[in-house]
Structure 1
């Protein structure tokens, strides 16, 4: 098992996204959380994470965290021992997606968090979890904790991210790809595309989960990550 695990949450998420994984792996290794709120580009976020990380580490990111993980791998491949990409994509934003992000930025700048959450909620979770008010409250709390400035910077970074598909065939470390079977934002076919491009990858589809697999089905995700961390 690696000595250090660096986790990177998604857009509008805090470290609580990985609370189950942190509780499980902290007794076994050093678990670090990247800060992805101070910078407005993937390159700068990755540089900050690398400056804070040890020389070698295992790397796992969900959604936006996956975009950052791929940028870290682009900048310093020799430092990453193994890679986990959860509910994410190697593709860049489409023009339509960028226009929608600009609209969400406007809502955030007006502190209209309830509207943002109401719009995103059905896309973030599996249909069976839409009525889970406890989970919705946790996601909303993380969104507000990220704050307007942090959220806007995150959206700008996502909009400017590079196409990482060209990076994938060169990855030669144990790689885990996780996706919820009901992920409406980065669906299973996007995960399969990445898995087909990385020779050393394994694809795990999480039953009953949407886009926030680490929070929706934490035990399934932790089990997959344990096998990944133990993989030689």
Structure 2
């Protein structure tokens, strides 16, 4: 029996390993690890840290900010990535409006206004039918507060200053899964379609009735797609 491929997960902004709890349980905890994306304020430094701690060859799964880190890992060490899953992310730069929003959130984090940040962002992160889902909201809020204001500001700074990434896509040699929620506002389906078209070997999956946080909005569906892709 072939040895299972190790899997490294990279969470999104203000999220912890709980973002991938269902997927890790489905794939098997022994083969999975979650990268720490809280210690550095550049995407490059986060990617270097991940590579220093990862197995020699592995599958890489990134959601949102985790996708930005995945792109940088592919830039720096493509030979180490056997497969990459890009969930609810984009290779496109921020709009001017988006950059202004990020600066506002960084300023709020530096004033330790995590509650206000949660109120301002939760409705953008989930499908509109889940905006009043108390259990889902509590999980997102708990992950943000577990991340903490200082780490959130570092993460947002890293995203704001991330390098250009779209030009990397045609050179990605490994198979890719591009998955997106049908109603993802921050990284919409058209971005996912353009990524999948640019990647040489990609499968595009769009989940109906799902927003930006697909792994916790539709955990069973995402776990099934990842299991099929990785195994």
Name the TM-score class by shorter chain: over 0.9
Q: In the alignment, what sits opposite 2:182?
A: 181
Taking the aligned partners of 1:214 and 1:86, their CA distance within structure 2 comes to 9
Per-residue Cα deviation, 1:91-116 (whole angstroms, up to 9, x for no partner): 12233222211111121122222211
User: How far apart are residue 207 of structure 1 and its match?
Assistant: 1.7
Q: Which residue pairs with 2:12 in the alignment?
A: 10
Distance across 2 between alignment mates of 1:54 and 1:112: 37
Cα displacement (A) at 1:119: 1.1
Mapped partners of 1:102, 1:185: distance in 2 = 16
Matches within 5 A, 1:184-195: 184-195=185-196
* Larger displacement relative to structure 2 (95-104 or 60-69): 95-104
2:113–2:149 Cα contact (<8 Å) kept:
no
CA distance in 1, matches of 2:171, 2:4: 21
Gaps of 5+ in 2: none
Query: What are the equivalent positions in structure 2 for 1:77-96 lying under 5 Å apart?
Result: 77-96=78-97
Aligned residues: 229
Are the equivalent residues in 1 in contact too, given 2:7–2:33 (CA < 8 A)?
yes
1:64 aligns with 2:37: no
Counterpart Cα distance in 2 of 1:163 and 1:94: 13
**Alpha-carbon deviation of 1:210?**
0.2
Task: Please give the residue correspondences for 1:158-169 in structure 2 after superposition, counting only pairs within 5 Å.
Answer: 158-169=159-170
Q: Give structure 1 stretches of 5+ with no counterpart.
A: none
Deviations 1:208-228 (A, max 9, x none): 210000010001101111111
RMSD across aligned C-alpha pairs, in angstroms? 1.1
- State the partner residue of 1:43: 44
Question: Where in structure 2 are the equivalents of 1:138-157 lying within 5 Å?
Answer: 138-157=139-158
Runs of 4 or more off by more than 4 Å in structure 1? none
3-state SS of the aligned residue for 2:105?
helix
